[in-house]
């Protein structure tokens, strides 16, 4: 029996998502980035590395590769914020290396240029939500059933997974 091939898209960060995409039928599962409380009072948040590893290990099939949006520090971004951003990105890279999973690292402008082509608007976040809804009209982009707004992090991770599949995974592996 052939095992199913999967590709993963990750929008790193505290409000990001991990999307697992079946390479053959393009079905998806979306997981919020696991976060745990840290610090003396439990008010600081940190990304839960072991939980991320468990999500990736739970894939029942061949994990072909993981597409991760590259992170960078921005002008006028504080030192603590820059440190958290780069720590999270490094954590994802380290987990993939530890699991022996190929990584595809994309600058935001690289994947969004192709995936948002033809979507009207100037705000990248809302354009990502529009495109993800076009691709998956029956999939809710809300973080929880009580949320009133769609998650741009979930939309981005879906589009990163699709971009990874379209640009990095050979047709023979996709089950096409």
Chain mean pLDDT for the chain = 89
* Predicted local confidence at residue 43, as pLDDT: 78
pLDDT of residue 3: 79
Burial class (CB in 10 A: 0-12, 13-18, 19+), 145: exposed
User: Using one digit for the tens of pLDDT, what is the confidence trace for 52-92?
Assistant: 999 999 998 899 999 999 887 777 777 777 777 778 889 99
Q: In whole angstroms, what is the distance from residue 80 CA to residue 149 CA? A: 28
Instruction: Kindly report, residue by residue over 97-111, the tens digit of the pLDDT.
Output: 999 999 999 999 999
Average pLDDT over residues 46-55: 94
Domains of the chain from N-terminus onward: 5-174 (3.30.420.10)
Region 127-136 average pLDDT: 96
Positions of E strands within the chain: 5-11, 17-22, 28-32, 35-38, 44-47, 62-69, 103-106
The stretch 32-40 carries a mean pLDDT of: 88
């Amino acid at each position: 029996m052939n095992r199913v091939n999967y590709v993963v898209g990750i929008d790193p960060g505290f409000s990001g998502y991990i999307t697992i995409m079946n390479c053959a039928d393009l079905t998806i599962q979306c997981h919020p980035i696991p976060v745990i409380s840290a610090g003396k009072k439990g008010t600081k948040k940190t990304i839960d590395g072991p939980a991320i590893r468990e999500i990736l290990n739970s894939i029942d099939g061949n994990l072909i590769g993981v597409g991760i949006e590259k992170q960078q520090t921005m002008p006028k971004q504080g030192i603590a914020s820059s440190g958290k951003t780069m720590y999270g990105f490094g954590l994802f890279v380290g987990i993939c290396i530890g699991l022996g999973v190929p990584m595809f690292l994309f600058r935001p402008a690289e994947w969004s240029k192709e995936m948002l082509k033809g979507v009207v608007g100037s705000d990248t976040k809302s354009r990502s939500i529009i495109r993800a809804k076009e691709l998956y009209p029956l999939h809710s982009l809300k973080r929880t059933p009580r949320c009133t707004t769609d998650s741009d992090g979930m939309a981005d991770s879906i589009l990163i997974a699709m971009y990874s599949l379209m640009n990095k995974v050979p047709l023979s592996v996709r089950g096409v």
